[in-house]
Amino acid sequence: MTKPHACRGLWVPALTPFTADLAVDASRFISHCEWLLANGASGLAAFGTTSEANSLSSAERMALLDGLIEAGISPAALMPGTGCCALPETETLTRHAVDHGCAGVLLLPPFYYKGVSDDGLYAGIAQVIDRIADSRLRVYLYHIPPMAGVGFSLPLIERLVRDFPDTIAGLKDSSGDWSNTAAVIENFPNLAIFPGSEVFLLDGLRAGGAGCISATANINTAAIGALYQAYQDGDPGLDADQEKLTKIRRAAETQPMVPGLKAVIAHARSDPEWLTTRPPLVSLQSEAATNLTEALDALDFTWPS
Amino acid sequence: MTKPHACRGLWVPALTPFTADLAVDASRFISHCEWLLANGASGLAAFGTTSEANSLSSAERMALLDGLIEAGISPAALMPGTGCCALPETETLTRHAVDHGCAGVLLLPPFYYKGVSDDGLYAGIAQVIDRIADSRLRVYLYHIPPMAGVGFSLPLIERLVRDFPDTIAGLKDSSGDWSNTAAVIENFPNLAIFPGSEVFLLDGLRAGGAGCISATANINTAAIGALYQAYQDGDPGLDADQEKLTKIRRAAETQPMVPGLKAVIAHARSDPEWLTTRPPLVSLQSEAATNLTEALDALDFTWPS
């Protein structure tokens, strides 16, 4: 069993909207987060890859987190990403989240250097935990080798769990490799394991996973949340629902993920400002956006409101 | 011909020393930089990969640059690395360097997202230049795909040079691929091209390169600087000197580069504090350090003082 207070369900790496001059649009961000929570999200894994968090300054990230809490969103529904390349910045963001009473933090390993040892990655995480030195800290390890270029091997997870049993609460697996997700679930039954895509939601739940943290939950929130809830309720016939989720995810994957999701929101809300990304991401061209919206319509997709 | 004021020669990505509790040791850093400039370095490409710059906060980087200038080092001898994942942080660091009158900045592309388009990387660089909006800015593109996971293709360089002819001054090529370095030198004769290793120093100079920016210049400064100068003076017989530089570089490459260089400095200066690295890098174990120092001794290496 995962720990009693571990996060479970559908946690959404909320998209971060920008104005035309590439400033963070806090107002639209908070509205989007409120919409997610009102439409099937269990919580927000804000400031993830989908959130373009590494394209934000630490000050921008903390201001947005402050804004969510000032808007009345419960810290118990927040698992902000706080892992940076530099230990002092990771420490600052993590302490800020803990001071707010957030449910946890989603921690990237330090990701600039490649080919580093498990000893080095262990030290990167251990230093953060030791410096925060707060029993409220709950760490969810963020395993995303396709972007970070480094990740959490099974022996590294084991060592972290052994040395910080009360702090290491779970892991998000964005490897895209189900065999790795299955191995992590099997080896660490006390951790809350979140596949990084709803494609693996039902398989994950059946294996003992905690739910999912998925980019496409920004647009298909209710349906993904409903499948999670139906599984909890012992509902049969979920394979067909899973298949529909998977088809929508595959349609989204035909475009660069973040620009594509922003194009879907812009279309659904008739709000072209949502198209904007920060470099190095590039807004979807209108033809690609049209292809994507048509593909979703063909799948009987319920558009976000 | 490269531009009249372009940087040339041996620019050293100065190592950053840390205290035992992983704080930056500004005093040792400044002393090391002064030693480099007094022993054959043309300038300092501080805050590069070798400097563990991405393991420093922006505030730490700016404080160290302030410290170098307060210590009397000429900004004309400084080309700080300023490229971060997040545009606001790159902008802050770049403006800080320009305000100090630094000779240039060494600019990593935004490096979190992988598989991004040249359009996105172009926007990342163009936004920085447009926001700084200062005719004093000189950008040296930092091409290091093995770490950044993204880099500067020939078409991307061409587009940047075309649109910002007065600003794009050069490129450091840390691809480790001589054929790429040769192609950049051939295609962009107006840029100052620095191979990222002294292994390519003589080949680079003969092809029209500007010198080199190399990690191992932290320990083999005088010999590398001397070869550069001898080439300028039309000295014959440089292939044997190049061969000796290459052998020392290859010896250093038998260990993780930054921990290995720090172990060499710690040994040479009898100063074990120099061994310390920030995670995810790990200090060299004593046996590996001994192997490295013995290998260097066998090559008749002149130890740093």
Question: Which residue in A49, A86, A114 is closest to B56 by CB distance?
Answer: A86
Check if A109 contacts B (Cβ < 8 Å). Answer: yes
Check if B234 contacts A (Cβ < 8 Å). Answer: no
Check if B133 contacts A (Cβ < 8 Å). Answer: no
Check if B117 contacts A (Cβ < 8 Å). Answer: yes
User: What region does B270 belong to: left with phi over 0, alpha with psi -120 to 50, or beta?
Assistant: left
Contact B279, A127 (CB under 8 A): yes
**Cβ neighbours for B253, distance < 8 A, ≥ 6 positions apart:** none
Which of B112, B116, B174, B255 to probe the A interface (max A CBs under 10 A)? B112
Check if A120 contacts B (Cβ < 8 Å). Answer: yes
Contacts of residue A282 in chain B, CB cutoff 8 Å? 116-117, 119-120, 123
Distances A67 to A31, A55, B247 between C-alpha atoms, Å: 11, 18, 56
Nearest CA among B9, B108, B11, B101 for reference residue B53: B108
Contact A293, A287 (CB under 8 A): no
Q: Which H or E run contains B212?
A: strand B211-213
Place of tokens 């940087």: B7
For the stretch B187-225, pLDDT in tens is 999 999 999 999 999 999 999 999 999 999 999 999 999
Strand partners, B171: B141, B193
> For residue B170, how many other CB atoms are within 10 A of its CB?
26
For the stretch B61-109, pLDDT in tens is 999 999 999 999 999 999 999 999 999 999 999 999 999 999 999 999 9
Task: Report whether pLDDT(B2) > 80.
Answer: no
Per-residue b or e along A257-277, where b marks 16 or more CB atoms closer than 10 Å to that residue's CB: bbbbbbbbbbbbbeeeebbbb
Check if A113 contacts B (Cβ < 8 Å). Answer: yes
Check if B107 contacts A (Cβ < 8 Å). Answer: no
pLDDT band, residue B1 (cuts 50/70/90): low
Place of tokens 């919580």: A43
In CATH, what class is A9-237? alpha beta
Contact B53, B215 (CB under 8 A): no
DSSP string, A144-206: -HHHHS----HHHHHHHHHH-TTTEEEEEE-S--HHHHHHHHHH-TTSEEEESSGGGHHHHHH
Which of A108, A112, A284 to probe the B interface (max B CBs under 10 A)? A112
Check if B150 contacts A (Cβ < 8 Å). Answer: yes
Question: Which residue in B55, B89, B127 is closest to A279 by CB distance?
Answer: B127
Contacts with A, B 239-278, CB within 8 Å = 278
Q: What is the pLDDT of residue A235?
A: 86
Strand partners, A43: A11
Q: How far is B53 from chain A (nearest CA, A)?
A: 8
Q: Give B294: exposed, middle or buried? Use CB within 10 Å, 0-12, 13-18, 19+.
A: exposed
Check if B85 contacts A (Cβ < 8 Å). Answer: yes
Contact A89, A58 (CB under 8 A): yes
pTM (2 d.p.): 0.97
> For residue B35, how many other CB atoms are within 10 A of its CB?
17
Across the interface, do B87 and A146 touch by the CB < 8 Å criterion?
A: no
- pLDDT tens, residue order, chain A (305 aa): 567 679 999 999 999 999 999 999 999 999 999 999 999 999 999 999 999 999 999 999 999 999 999 999 999 999 999 999 999 999 999 999 999 999 999 999 999 999 999 999 999 999 999 999 999 999 999 999 999 999 999 999 999 999 999 999 999 999 999 999 999 999 999 999 999 999 999 999 999 999 999 999 999 999 999 999 999 999 888 999 999 999 999 999 999 999 999 999 999 999 999 999 999 999 999 999 999 999 999 999 999 99
Question: Which residue in B49, B120, B148 is closest to A281 by CB distance?
Answer: B120
Q: Report the percentage of chain B scoring pLDDT > 90.
A: 97
Task: Report whether pLDDT(B240) > 80.
Answer: yes
Which of B16, B22, B55 to probe the A interface (max A CBs under 10 A)? B55
Residue A146 corresponds to which amino acid? P
Q: What is B9-236's CATH topology?
A: TIM Barrel (3.20.20)
Contacts of residue A109 in chain B, CB cutoff 8 Å? 280
Contacts of residue A114 in chain B, CB cutoff 8 Å? 146-147, 149
Contacts of residue B60 in chain A, CB cutoff 8 Å? 86, 88
Cα A167 from Cα A80, distance rounded (Å): 15
Cα A239 from Cα B39, distance rounded (Å): 70
Nearest CA among B211, B169, B187 for reference residue B3: B169
Check if A60 contacts B (Cβ < 8 Å). Answer: yes
For the stretch B150-200, pLDDT in tens is 999 999 999 999 999 999 999 999 999 999 999 999 999 999 999 999 999
